[in-house]
Amino acid sequence: MSRDVALTARLKYLLRRLTSFDPRRVWGFASQISKEQGKWAPKVFVDMLVWAALHDTAYIDYYEADFALLTKSERKTFMTSLIQHHLAQALNDRTDVLQFENKITFNRRFAEYLGRDWLDLDEVDADALRAFAEKNPVFIAKTPVGREGKGVFRYEATDVTDWNAFRDELRDKGQRLIEQRIVQHPYLAEYCEGTVNTTRVATFFDGSKVHVLMAAQKFGRGAVSDQFTWGGFFTMIDENGKSFGPGHTGKHKSRYETHPDSGKSIVDFEVPMWDRVVDLVTRAAQEVPTVPYIGWDVAVGPDGPMLIEGNWTPGLYETRVSATGIRTGSRARHRPVIEASRR
């Protein structure tokens, strides 16, 4: 049985899963794995139940990490969404995480790390919005609370004819947060100029030292966001800021050795200004000590990195063997946060 999650957290989780258990959903995953990987569905079905009960592996984790293709010892090198969720729940203060959930609150708290101008439409009139747009002809509007790139929109000032009506329209849609458009580093723009390609870095602050637990580089396909919901994909990044495998979307056999649009090499990618990215998240990670386990989204501009947001549940980024051939996950790098959750 996994020992990376506290016993009480596991028991609570098992109780919830037992009360909501849907064998049809599990069988659906087992059948899909059988179709894609040539495994016997009944055996996969039973194996999924065992790993859910004893090894903190949700059915979707089992499928997306290709556990059916991995040995038991290989599986134990991977983080799962359940382990990550339990760690975040155990270590991050439930009140203070609100500073991260709301983007406007986050922008106020982490203003010195943003590197861009922004407005709250509830605090400015249409004239102020127009003045902002005159300085920033292409700008971003966001809903204060949203995940996976949802609630992010791009506008052009030349399309607006009535600024009072436009401000009212944005507020009615919940798009209160207006931000200056980020200009990314030229090296990143070579991969996809139309999307800001961001770096996800998970950190843990133990009270004296900030540990970098995982990093992944996300790539867009020209949409307003580089998230999967907008067609994006990612590659894992090592401790030196370099890619250590092809990119993928998390889908079966979705393998990108080069960017499908620009042709730029994914396997040779290096995060520009990596040392400054690490310095940025190291400083930001110490700002709210009661929320020590965070997944940061960072954009690198021509003059340096900029903080986009912080996620108090860092987000699961792992390689997938059917897409990349890599059979080792990132759990070993998460030992500091796992150990802290047991205290």
Q: How many CB atoms lie within 10 A of CB 168?
A: 13
Residue-wise pLDDT for 17-59, tens only, equals 666 678 899 999 999 999 999 999 999 999 999 999 889 899 9
Separation CA 256–CA 39 (nearest Å): 25
Spatial CB neighbours of 203, under 8 Å, sequence gap ≥ 6: 210, 211, 212, 213, 281, 282, 285, 293, 294, 296
The greatest distance separating any two alpha carbons of the chain, rounded to the nearest whole angstrom, comes to 65
164's tokens: 């009072």
Mean pLDDT per 10-residue interval, the chain, length 343 residues = 58 64 89 94 96 90 94 96 93 96 96 97 97 97 81 94 97 96 97 96 98 97 84 94 93 88 97 98 98 98 97 92 92 95 84
What burial class does residue 258 get, using C-beta atoms within 10 Å of its C-beta: 0-12 exposed, 13-18 middle, 19+ buried?
Answer: middle
Q: How many CB atoms lie within 10 A of CB 172?
A: 8
70, 321 in Cβ contact below 8 A? yes
Model pLDDT, residue 20: 67
Q: Which residue type, as a one-letter code, is found at position 332? A: A
Spatial CB neighbours of 259, under 8 Å, sequence gap ≥ 6: 191, 192, 219, 247, 266
87's tokens: 């760690």
Model pLDDT, residue 49: 93
Model pLDDT, residue 239: 96
